[in-house]
Every structure is written in C-alpha cells, then in structure tokens.
Structure 1
C-alpha cells in the first residue's frame, strides 16, 4: 500500500468504493467552512458532495482556525478523504471530493479572508464547537473579555476567532458593495442561528456601530439541527480503510448510517439543493433542535460522564450494561420527552428507539472521554435547559441531576480508582482549583461549582430543588460509584 489517496489514484480504487460522481475540475467555490473537523467531513461535506453533479458552483474551501493537522493530511490528497459508514452489518466506504482546498488560518489569514470576501462565496458554514463562538453559554451573549475577542477587536485584519473572521469578511464585503454571505452554524447551540446572529452583531457593533447595524439588518443566520455520531478516527481505522482502498488515507472519517440535517430555509444568496441529499428544510427548526439536544446530546453527555467513571471506554460498552440502558430510557421517556413540543407527524417514539440502537452500535468506537470534552460549554444546552423546564413545571429531575452530578465528579480530575482524568475543557484549570478547594466533600464540591455563573447562571444555584438533587446524587457517586448508583437508581 504505497500509493496515497489523491486524484491520480482514484481510477485505481476497487469497484465497490463510491467516488465523486462529477468532474472535480469544474467545481468552483460557493461555501467557506470554518472548523474542518471530522463532523463536517462526515456530515455537511457529504450532503454537498451528493449535489455537486447538479450544480458544481458549491465547492467548499475548508479552514482550520487552529491546528494544521487536517491540512497536512488532506493537502497531499487533493482534498479527498474516505467516509466509512459502520454498523453491525458491516462497512461501506466512499471517497468525498467536495472540499476543493484546505486553509490553516494562522498560516494564511489573508488567504482565508480573501476567500470569504469573494462574491462567489455565498455561504459560510461553521463547526467550531460550542466554545468556538467566544460566548457566555449561560446567556448566549458575546464574551467581550475572551482573549481572542480582545485580540480581534484590536487587530481586525489578523483575527483568531470565528466571529473575528466572519465580521472582518463582512466588513470587506460591505466596503466593496458585495451582499453578505449567509452564516450557517452547525454546532449545538440553543437557537443556534439566533445565538450566532447575536454574537456577530455585538462584535460588529464594537468594531463600528454602522457595521453593527449592517450585520443586524442584512445578515441571514438560519438555524439548523445536525445529527450524526462521528467518533475520533483511530490508527486501526486508517490501516483497515487503507487496505480496502489499496491507497493510504491519512485522515478518513468513521460514522454511523444515520444522518439528519434540518435547516431553516433563509438563504438570500442561494444555496445548494441539499434536500436532494436528504436534508429537510423547515420554517422553524427549534422543535427539532430541542429534540436532538435534549434526547441525543443530553443522553450522550450523561452516558459519557457516568460511563467514564464506571470504567467504560466507549458508549457502546456503557450501553452493554442494562443498568445504563434503563437509566437512559428513563431519562428520555420520563424527564426529557415531556419538555418537547414537536410538530404533527414527528415520531418521537421511533427517534428514541433509534437512539438506543445507535448508542449500542459496537462498530462505532465512540469514546466516553471524547464526548466528555468541553462540558462547561455543553452542559447549559444539553441538560440545564431541560432542567429549567422541569423545575418550572415542578416535575422530577432525578436523572437529569445525576448527569450534572456526574460532570461534577468528572471535572475533579481524579477517577473512582484515584487515577488522573485528562479533563479537556476551556475552564479546566478553574474547575480543578474549585474541586481541590472542596477537598473531596460532595457538598462543598457542589457548592463551589454552583458558583460558576457562566455555566449555571443565577437562577439554578438559588433553587434548592436543583441544588439538593444534584448534591444528593453527587454524594451517591462518591459513596457508591457510578455503576452502583446507576443500577440502584430509583425515580423520585
């Protein structure tokens, strides 16, 4: 296996491997994507790849805002990479060609801004994770003290953050009389389009009030809901996929058969016919967003913290334990579903059944540690919004509060056997300091962490129903451990 996957090697791939069904030489750029990680390459880029034969003007220029790793992997491959769809039935491989170019923003800042300001670019998509918006997760407002925001406001032409790049590109388009591109976030934020519009408008106001009014009045930020489980790629995946291709792929992506994309249809400069690839365009994304954030992501985070503490490496390992299956089914049915208000025809029962099967998929090695990353940014969207709704209705919160308690136990940085946990979180240092101050006391730890306003706001720490339930569950985790706590769980 000496060949590298690239344009020249496509013709020699085995017959069973799907390839781009269009002339890549005819593809031009219509989309700039910020945050070229595995999820984008397994989701939005696949939808776009499916429709480029219909309209080749929607090719993607993909940018990494931090690491050069994706560029280093894909540039020698002419932007090509493999998507592996794995299930218990086996593995299907396809080569995706929608990404025309990869840019590393810190090394080519002006090149990225030029691509975004180009009139051909009609959409800017984002998968920069919750922390990439430099906002306060508890309020959804721009964090004006964020170091990247402080930097970008001083050095407009050398931005580091996603808001900085977008607003500088919009400023250039406005100066040139070019209409703004549509900003399409595909991250797990509440009302993600409106949240991003709020963040960008405020940043633009701080640059120039006139620019702020332009962004407020002219910029379209449709809301979206994206759903596909994409574990981190392993060396074993690279080896297996390379052998199947007969060519080395430095960074394939592995995913599940299920995929969903629900989009608010507001694209003043046009859009690809993503509906031809299975995307659903709707007038209001919010019900679907709540369904996914609360059922899938809320369950995923709960499984990640409890599963990691229980010693399980993957979600599938955790779901092989019947106690965790019962816990998650109860979380979905009894605590999350009553907070959802779906449009007619939406089949929540089928969606929940599918989630359980997806979580159990042993072909996906989705590590609990990976899902546990950046919990300070994820908790408000995945669990705390549901908790607020349940408290408003004076309804039980036993399982939801257990998920929060498991996060608290996890961010202490020490597992149930006394081994160190590699906590990856933008607030990791602060959280560890608070945990150390608590000295191993569940009550003191809960009290210290409730004081992190950026996560819990002012309302939840003031509600004894919330603080009491979380503290009691945290004490159970300390006393009995995650496995026993899950197996002995009884609803309030």
Structure 2
C-alpha cells in the first residue's frame, strides 16, 4: 500500500515564513492563490506561505493536517495551443486553523508582524452581514465579522494593517467586504480611532478571478496515485489558464510580484473592462449554451464544443451578438474569445452542464440580459441566438424535462406562472424580482420569446437552433 503524502515521505520539501492569512481551504483557493504563491516561491520572489482559516465548522483542516498541509495539483488542458499535463506538490500552506475549535489560535494571528496579506474565497454567500454576530462570539458566524474581530485585535496591538484581496465571485467584492466590516465596527462601537485605522492602514482591493478548477479527480485518483507513488486525499485538478485582476494601487505588484513570476495577474485602477470581458465572453456563453444543450441531451461543455451545431452556436453568439456590444478594443476581445473557445474544448476537464445550470436565472440576468438589452437599443431588433437561449431557459424552468437548481423563491414564481401557459411569457417577463425590470416593455421581446418556445416545443432544441445558425 502506498504511503500518504507527508513531510516524512518527502523530507526535502521546503517551508516558508507565514506572510498571508487565507480564509478558505477549498479546491479553488488551493489551485489558484496557493499555486501562485508556489510559483513565486519557486523563483525566489516571495519566500512566504499562507495560514488557512476554515470559514465554516466542517472543512478540510483535518485532511490537510494529516498530510502536513501538502497536496498535489494537476494542470491539464491546452494553453496557447500547447498541451499541458503537469503535476506539482504544493508547499505554500504552513497550517490550517479551524476557528470553531481553535479560536485563540485564530486571534493570535493578529500578533504576528509577518502577516501582510489577507485573501478569501468563502463562496458568493460569504461576504454577507449577519446581525446576530457579536465581538464576544468565539467565533462569529460570518466571514466579515470574523475578519472585523481579527482586525480590531490587530489595531489594539498597535500594528500595521493588511492588503485585503477577496476572491469571492461577486461584483466589487472588496468594497462590499469593507462596507460590512465598517458596519460591524460601528454597531459594536469599536470607536472612531479604529475606523480611522481601518481606512488609513488597510487596503481593501476588489478582484476578479478566473480559472476552472474541477477539484478532486475522483474517477482517476487511484491511477494518478499509482503514477505518483503516494496517496493524496486532497489532490486537485485545474486548467492551465489563469487570470487574476486586482483593483488597487500599483505598489501591490512590488509586494506581490506575480507578474515577475510570469503569472497572468493584472493590477489596475479600474477592473470594470476586465469584468465585462469575463462575465460576458466566458460566463455568458456558458449560461447561453446550458439550457439548449441540456434539452438536446448533451452533458458537458466538451460535448457542446464537439457538436457541429452547438459549437457553431457558441462561436456565432460570441462574434455576432456579444463582442460588438462590449466597449473594449476589438482585437483584445477577439484574442480573449479565442482563448475562451480553447478552454471550452479542454479534453482533460469534464465540466458538467448541470453544474453550470445552478441558479441560471440570476446568471442570465447578470451575464446576458445587459447585452441583450444593449443589442436591442443599438440595433433596433433582438439578438436571435440570445433570445432563443432565453426561451430555452424559461422552458427548462417548467420542470418537466430538466432538473431545476434554484432558490425556492424563484421556483415558486415559475410554478405559479406556468399554471397558466397561455399567459406564462407575459407573466414571467413582467416579474421585476427576477430581472430587475419589467421586460414586457422591451419591444417585441414577449412575442419573440413566445415564438421561440413554440419552436423548441415543436421541433426540439437542435432543430430550432439549426434554423438560426
């Protein structure tokens, strides 16, 4: 039986001083932030490790400790038309703290002058305010409250602040985190001096992250472990492509020299163009393909890209309907679109359409609806591919063909609307709680959606698509 990965089986692996506090020990952060720390350490540019804080009571701290906080990352995919198939043991995590059982160890992090940076990924729901949180809790429930308690202890000790870079997938994540921390500081009556220290001594950055991380390779784990010669319970797979856009002062590039290590990290004073590019050209096509492809019986993004009809749909959607509506240099948009198509075709990653379909209504509202409305305003008509996808999405939320994955509130709205099929389209498009506005006021949208739903019902998803592409 092969031995478990540890510093006993690999005694020559290096260790590094603790310089970063990281909230979140899941697959994404280990394959994104910690992998990047590793690349800088490999080149002698950072010389630092991260202490991971487990944001919820149940997590991976036990498994990481069992492996001396070591794990293997596999990069599989195509980058710049070259096949990448690499593995590496990551040594950039020093330890993991579970504040639910090690609260004193967690608060002791405030005492260490070596810490300069705080990163986080506590899921989209993590940057949230919980009114029941108190400074005296051990620990507080929410991530922002835990962070506030740590920052207040740091302030009381008279120490310097942090560069704080959240990676949660919400717009303006750094600003929202800072707002909630200030809210707790005021409600907990921590004083004006602390509020001034928060502003003057800490740098809250908004950031945008981009890397597909399927996670633990369950179907291949035994084969991979046989090749490696050791057991690894928390190995993680990721695509080779990576982008991290950090909105903050230019000096961050010196203190975190990602770009010097050849990493695709951009520090900018305005991340808006990068966000629009990613949301509309990567996430947008994902959201558009899902209902049509699922209705046609396809299962993965790779299935879509290997299918003539659906790959043409994706390419045409990007070229004809998305790129012309984005206020960025066309050359850079085309280059990014080519990279996205290359990533979609990755044969090494099984990216399930069903997983992308989670909360599709809110995703459509964020990723595609703004472009659809802009297209109508600019051109005076509706984008044919986007509206067909929109119709397929609404049809899929009837619940009789595909499994719906959304909040109870959203599903209740759809169930009530589908009770009267003849008025369904008008009822659902009028629902401002879903779309942020009354979409029946968009010229011709109701009629086009009704027609497309009829086409999808009568012809099926593939035949309806063939008529347009």
TM over 0.5: yes
Choose from 231, 240, 260 the match for 1:276: 260
Deviation (angstroms), 1:316? 0.2
Shift in alpha-carbon separation, 1:110–1:337, aligned structure 2, 3 A: farther
Answer with 324-333 or 480-489: which moved more: 480-489
**Structure 1 gaps, min length 5:** 12-18, 135-143
Q: How does 1:163-312 map to 2 (within 5 A)?
A: 163-208=144-189, 210=192, 215=198, 219-266=202-249, 271-277=255-261, 278=263, 279-312=265-298
Q: How does 1:380-395 map to 2 (within 5 A)?
A: 380-393=365-378
Measure, in 1, the Cα distance between the counterparts of 2:58 and 2:120. Answer: 17
Instruction: Give the aligned partner of residue 399 of structure 1.
Output: 385
8 Å contact from structure 1 (residues 220, 267) kept in 2: no
> Once superposed, what is the RMSD of the aligned Cα atoms?
3.4
Instruction: Give the aligned partner of residue 6 of structure 1.
Output: 6
Choose from 63, 86, 89 the match for 2:53: 63
TM-score under structure 1 length normalisation: 0.81
Instruction: Give the aligned partner of residue 35 of structure 1.
Output: 24
Bigger radius of gyration, 1 or 2?
2
1:127 paired to 2:108: no
8 Å contact from structure 1 (residues 82, 96) kept in 2: yes
Measure, in 2, the Cα distance between the counterparts of 1:443 and 1:104. Answer: 54
8 Å contact from structure 2 (residues 213, 238) kept in 1: yes
8 Å contact from structure 1 (residues 105, 112) kept in 2: yes
1:487 paired to 2:466: yes
Measure, in 1, the Cα distance between the counterparts of 2:169 and 2:66. Answer: 31
Answer with 306-315 or 263-272: which moved more: 263-272
Q: Secondary structure at the match of 2:2?
A: coil
Deviation (angstroms), 1:404? 4.1
Measure, in 1, the Cα distance between the counterparts of 2:429 and 2:102. Answer: 41
Shift in alpha-carbon separation, 1:52–1:291, aligned structure 2, 3 A: same
What is the number of residues matched between the two proteins? Answer: 458
Deviation (angstroms), 1:80? 1.3
Deviation (angstroms), 1:292? 1.1
Choose from 304, 318, 328 the match for 1:332: 318
Answer with 438-447 or 69-78: which moved more: 438-447
Measure, in 2, the Cα distance between the counterparts of 1:461 and 1:103. Answer: 51
Deviation (angstroms), 1:29? 2.0
Deviation (angstroms), 1:94? 1.1
Deviation (angstroms), 1:465? 5.2
Q: Secondary structure at the match of 1:83?
A: strand
Measure, in 1, the Cα distance between the counterparts of 2:209 and 2:25. Answer: 15
Deviation (angstroms), 1:227? 2.0
Deviation (angstroms), 1:3? 0.7
Deviation (angstroms), 1:6? 1.5
Deviation (angstroms), 1:109? 4.7
**Structure 2 gaps, min length 5:** none
1:50 paired to 2:39: yes
Measure, in 2, the Cα distance between the counterparts of 1:470 and 1:126. Answer: 40
Shift in alpha-carbon separation, 1:459–1:235, aligned structure 2, 3 A: same
Deviation (angstroms), 1:364? 0.9
Q: Secondary structure at the match of 1:10?
A: coil
Answer with 56-65 or 467-476: which moved more: 467-476
Instruction: Give the aligned partner of residue 78 of structure 1.
Output: 68
Instruction: Give the aligned partner of residue 97 of structure 1.
Output: 91
TM-score under structure 2 length normalisation: 0.84
Deviation (angstroms), 1:305? 3.4
Shift in alpha-carbon separation, 1:245–1:338, aligned structure 2, 3 A: same
Measure, in 2, the Cα distance between the counterparts of 1:64 and 1:355. Answer: 32
